[in-house]
Chain A
Amino acid sequence: MLDIQDLSIRFTRYTFGLKKKETCVVQGLDLSIAPGQVMAVIGQSGAGKSLLAHALLGILPRNAQVEGRVFFKGKPLTPERLSTLRGREIALIPQSITALNPLLRVGVQVARAARLSGISKKDAPTTVNRAFSRYLLQKEVATWFPFQLSGGMARRVLTATATVGMADLILADEPTSGLDPATAKEALGHLRELADTGKAVLLITHDIEAALKIADMVTVFCAGTTVEVASADDFKGLGQLRHPYTRALWNALPANSFIGTMKPIERSPNTTGCPFQTCCNEQDAVCGHSTPELKHSSAGRVRCHHA
């Protein structure tokens, strides 16, 4: 469905007056996702997770430069193609209710999303009704305004808005943050259902435990680079995980040993080598001067010299 190879995103920023500085936020990012799959993207905040979503929707700020190969359904995803696909075949489930227009009734907004995704005016009302009943929203919810929705209902409306069309690739950006456990579970369940109907779901989150509940595969980002692609089952124990960074993430969970890194991982533009080298226990000379390749390793992939 979607195949991203060696994506990089650079920003040119002004420091003072007209002096510029270039920062490379994402470098060597690989990701692929198949229909019917939930692919979770996990990593630290600032690792480039949201930038990936923004790049896929073509809504990066103007001072960003994107390079790399992105294929959607086998064909290269150019900015022109993207602008026709966005909302039709690639849809975003936003993080919060603020993404909806506060002054428009919910039903109108879902119908508008349906029309934008290419559903004819005649079919739109039935499609909207179907979307509402699929997410157990009562008919009268359509006449409500966004502020009247409770947290769980808001998630369902947002999901309905994104999926009312025929989108095959669904991006969910932090769908569980700020939700209590019951609502979060429900939101995740809807994503799983979507994947089971043959859509590809890209679940971007910082919450590993939430991601593992529904994901088939997990892509781990570290400092803007893909360091590991693992199946969700690999997270059952430390032994299956390939990259030291993934192991550190897993270890840091309160349910496991709850150990954090003492140093934050930050990549300056001219560092060479492995992005995780400063915090890694297995680090040696080779990690410092060459960036490891993303190798195939059993069912997954890993970017480490020692794996």
Chain B
Amino acid sequence: MLEAKTLAYRYGKQCSWLFDDLDLQIAPGEIVGMSGPSGRGKSTLAKVLAGYLPPGRGSVMIGGRPLQGSGHCPVQLLFQHPELAVNPRWKVGKILQEGEEPTADLCKDLGLEPAWFDRYPHELSGGELQRICLARALSSGTRYLLCDEMTSMLDALTQAHIWQIILDIARSRRLGLLVISHDTTLITRLCSRNISYFGDTVNH
């Protein structure tokens, strides 16, 4: 179980809390959706949950224990812009192996072509690069995936394709998913539960 307990975050002491007193639970195998207007802290929440940012107040617990600061994090974050989530000076093959060498099955499921491995990230399309990032995030130790607007830059076919793969893998590995998107149709299609925390709070 991935749990957020009375979680709060703000950028700097002078700023107001972006979100405050937030409780959230994601069970293994569960797919939770989150939507709401931009600029309300959805992405920041994802970063706190994945350990990219330290919580301002409260805590992130995984399996009853606080999230570790080092080592492979069981909560992995996938970004809206995959091209910013890879080192532009690395070839795709090296990017792919950063977590752990992906298994042949995973590469096949994701439709990764060996011809890409010798290219630089900017030589792949957004959909291709997003699948590379997905393969990198899906190490054996990963238990939860946070998908922050992961497919909003992609066309419908690629989007549907990527979600089919993720849902299959999530089902077989019992991964917990948090899907952040402004596309409510997509959320209803994918998720069993929808959090509207950021929909009704208005703050500046």
Contact = CB atoms under 8 A, between A and B. Distances in A.
Q: Do A and B bind each other?
A: yes
Interface of A: 15, 42-46, 151, 177-182, 206-208, 248-250, 252-255, 258-264, 266
Contacts of A264: 111, 127-128, 158, 161
Nearest to A264: B111
Interface string B150-171: 0011111111111110000000
Interface of B: 37-39, 80, 111, 113, 118, 125-128, 152-164, 182-183, 185-186, 188-190
Contacts, number: 87
Contacts of A262: 111, 161, 164
**What does DSSP make chain A's interface, helix, strand, loop or mixed?**
loop
A44 B153 CA distance: 10
Q: Looking at A207, A264, A266, which has the most chain B CB atoms within 10 Å of its CB? A: A264
A71 to B, nearest CB: 29
Contacts of B188: 254
Contacts of B125: 44-46
Contact of A260 (B118, B162, B189): B162
A252 B156 contact: yes
B157 A260 contact: yes
A177 B80 CA distance: 11
Contacts of B126: 45-46
A46 B156 CA distance: 13
Nearest to A177: B153
B189 A258 contact: yes
Given A180-B37, A261-B161, A264-B111, A255 B153 contact: no
Given A44-B155, A44-B157, A263 B186 contact: no
Given A45-B155, A260-B164, A263-B111, A254 B183 contact: yes
